[in-house]
């Protein structure tokens, strides 16, 4: 399908690339940032023990797992960008998708989500935060 | 009101369309308001709309925040769907204004305190706007807008072929009421069971959207749908024999003071490929006298281009709920 005319698209103002910090994720536990060409030391998440790795997942792992579940539920093509900021609705999820995603998350993380909480989740990050909070109470 | 630049751009678009149109709003066919106890159901089929000039025309009637929402959608198909949904709402509601005087772009919307979108009637000084209520639902292949005057309305559309990622019964156990789980469990054929689940889902969605208080205030497993013969309500029949003679009723949650009202349901099958559920509130004075059918008018539309009255055709079949389909 043809894309829209230039006039319609002129509303989008893109952030200037040079000011946006670029993060290179070399491994799930290590992120290095570079802004304007200056490199900052890598930040590495230390695993704190096997038990914590399994039941209290590091936030990044949680986000990644949520992304995977969302991608699977919405049957997104390989290479689709799904990040913490991704809104379910913007990815094309309707309410049936959302409740299926919640079911998938409950299964994956062994948690139980209240109806009130389920409704308040609109982004991947919100889902991950909720999961981490529920997992924390289990540790 | 449109600026000169808007008018110029509009004329350019119209020339590109090559049609004999004067202004965008005059090419919207005006219609009479729904009467009491009447619901109008308008829908578009996205696959029929490929003209980028037409899509631009739809885009242009959106508000700035609606346009932003469109841009946030990922991919062309989702953007197109978002544009069509908002354009359908605006053009549909604009048709009901007296003499079609209202530019679809001029309509303003607000949200009730639970987040349900509604027409904001406050901004008009000169003309008295009818108390239009609406609700929309979209799938990738069909986008619908239901309209009433005065009655809260909720609609939901789903593709019949929609596959759940979860097992049907596992899903039902997680989200539906005990009686509904039992009903589904009794259906031996997995395909029939899946179809019944989708019908139930659309009914539940339509109900919660009509009530308009959000899903957490009306969790799906707190209310039960029942299909009965209108002479003997409350009898559980096997769902796949549900016919248009069968009334659909909902047994509300125990905490019913939260949800009052006499809710009526219609379940449609469209093109043999979609289920559509419509829920409206009837006057409470009818309670106890037996149910009065919902009067329903169906229209397929390509806004600014053509409308088609759906009546007396198997494109739309009532498969549940006491309904009278109206000729337009």
Per-residue confidence of chain B (328 residues) as pLDDT tens digits? Answer: 445 555 555 555 544 443 333 344 448 888 888 988 899 999 999 999 999 999 999 999 999 999 999 999 999 999 999 999 999 999 999 998 776 777 899 888 999 988 899 998 765 555 566 789 999 999 999 999 999 998 999 999 999 999 999 999 999 999 999 999 999 999 999 999 999 999 999 999 999 999 998 888 888 999 999 887 544 444 444 444 444 557 888 887 776 555 667 899 999 999 999 999 999 998 765 555 556 889 999 999 999 999 999 999 999 999 999 899 999 8
Which single residue is written with the structure tokens 């350019």? B12
Name the residue in chain A with its Cα closest to that of B137.
A94
The C-alpha atoms of residue B108 and residue B90 are separated, in whole angstroms, by 9
List chain B residues with CB under 8 Å of A91.
74, 78
List chain B residues with CB under 8 Å of A92.
73-75, 77-78, 81
Q: Do B216 and A119 touch (CB under 8 A)?
A: yes
Dump the DSSP string for A28-90: TTEEEEEETTEE---EEPPP--HHHHHHS--HHHHHHHHHHHHHHHTTPPTT----TT-BTGG
Structure tokens at B246: 């069968």
ipTM for this model = 0.81
Cβ-based interface (< 8 Å): residues of B facing A: 9, 50, 52, 55-56, 59-60, 67-68, 71-78, 80-81, 138-139, 158, 162, 164-166, 170-171, 174-175, 201, 205, 214-216, 219
Q: Do B75 and A92 touch (CB under 8 A)?
A: yes
Dump the DSSP string for B53-67: HHHHHHHHTS-HHHH
Dump the DSSP string for B27-44: GSPP-PPP-TTEEEEEEE
H-assigned helices in chain B: 4-17, 52-60, 64-72, 76-95, 168-175, 178-185, 190-211
Position B227 scores a pLDDT of 83
Catalytic residues of A: 94
Position A15 scores a pLDDT of 44
Structure tokens at B318: 């009532």
Minimum distance, in Å, between the CA of residue A77 and any CA atom of chain B: 11
Q: Do B138 and A95 touch (CB under 8 A)?
A: no
Q: Which one of A68, A74, A77, A92 would you mutate to disrupt binding with B, by most B Cβ within 10 Å of its Cβ?
A: A92
Cβ-based interface (< 8 Å): residues of A facing B: 1-5, 7-8, 11-12, 72-73, 80-81, 86-87, 90-92, 94-96, 99-100, 103-104, 115-116, 118-120
Q: Which one of B50, B160, B165, B176 would you mutate to disrupt binding with A, by most A Cβ within 10 Å of its Cβ?
A: B165
Q: Do B76 and A1 touch (CB under 8 A)?
A: yes
Q: Do B52 and A90 touch (CB under 8 A)?
A: no
* Positions in chain A short of pLDDT 50: 1-19, 44-57
Cβ density class B243-264: b for 16+ within 10 Å, e for less: ebebbbbbebbeeeeebebebb
Pairing relationship of beta strands A22-27 and B117-119 according to DSSP bridges: unpaired
Minimum distance, in Å, between the CA of residue B261 and any CA atom of chain A: 23
Assessment of whether the complete model's pTM goes beyond 0.90? no
């Amino acid at each position: 399908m043809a894309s829209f005319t230039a006039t319609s698209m002129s509303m989008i103002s893109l952030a200037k690339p040079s000011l946006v910090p670029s993060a290179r994720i070399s491994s799930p536990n290590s992120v290095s940032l570079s802004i304007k060409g200056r490199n900052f030391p890598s930040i590495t998440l230390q695993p704190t023990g096997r038990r914590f790795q399994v039941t209290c997942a590091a936030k990044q792992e949680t986000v990644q797992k949520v992304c995977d579940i969302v991608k699977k539920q919405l049957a997104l093509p390989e290479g689709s960008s799904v990040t913490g900021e991704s809104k379910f609705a913007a990815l094309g999820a309707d309410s049936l998708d959302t409740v299926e995603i919640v079911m998938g998350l409950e299964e994956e993380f062994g948690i139980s989500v209240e109806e009130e909480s389920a409704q308040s989740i609109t982004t991947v990050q919100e889902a991950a935060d909720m999961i981490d909070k529920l997992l924390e109470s289990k540790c | 009101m449109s600026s000169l630049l808007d008018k110029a751009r509009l004329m350019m678009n119209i020339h590109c369309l090559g049609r004999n149109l004067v202004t965008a709003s005059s090419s919207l066919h005006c219609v009479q308001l729904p009467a009491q106890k009447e619901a109008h159901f308008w829908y578009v089929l996205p696959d029929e709309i490929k003209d980028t000039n037409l899509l631009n025309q739809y885009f242009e009637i959106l508000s700035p925040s609606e346009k932003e929402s469109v841009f946030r959608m990922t991919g062309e198909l989702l953007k197109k769907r978002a544009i069509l949904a908002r354009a359908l709402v605006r053009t549909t509601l604009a048709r009901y204004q007296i003499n079609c005087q209202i530019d679809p772009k001029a309509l303003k919307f607000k949200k009730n305190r639970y987040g349900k979108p509604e027409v904001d009637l406050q901004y008009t000084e000169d003309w008295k706007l009818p108390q239009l209520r609406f609700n929309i639902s979209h799938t990738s292949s069909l986008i619908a807008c239901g309209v009433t005057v005065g009655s809260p309305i909720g609609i939901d559309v789903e593709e019949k072929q929609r596959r759940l990622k979860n097992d049907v019964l596992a899903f039902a156990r997680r989200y539906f009421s005990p009686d509904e789980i039992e009903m589904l469990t009794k259906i031996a054929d997995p395909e029939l069971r899946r179809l019944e689940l989708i019908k139930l889902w659309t009914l539940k969605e339509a109900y919660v959207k009509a009530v308009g208080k959000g899903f957490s205030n009306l969790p799906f497993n707190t209310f039960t749908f029942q299909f009965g013969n209108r002479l003997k309500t409350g009898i559980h029949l096997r769902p796949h024999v549900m016919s248009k003679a069968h009334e659909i009723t909902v047994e509300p949650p125990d905490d019913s003071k939260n949800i009052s009202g006499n809710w009526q349901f219609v379940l449609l099958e469209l093109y043999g490929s979609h289920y559509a559920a419509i829920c409206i509130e009837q006057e409470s004075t009818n309670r106890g006298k037996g149910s009065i059918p919902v009067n329903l008018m169906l229209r397929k539309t390509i806004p600014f281009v053509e409308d088609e009255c759906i009546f007396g055709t198997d494109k739309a079949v009532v498969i549940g709920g006491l309904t009278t389909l109206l000729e337009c």
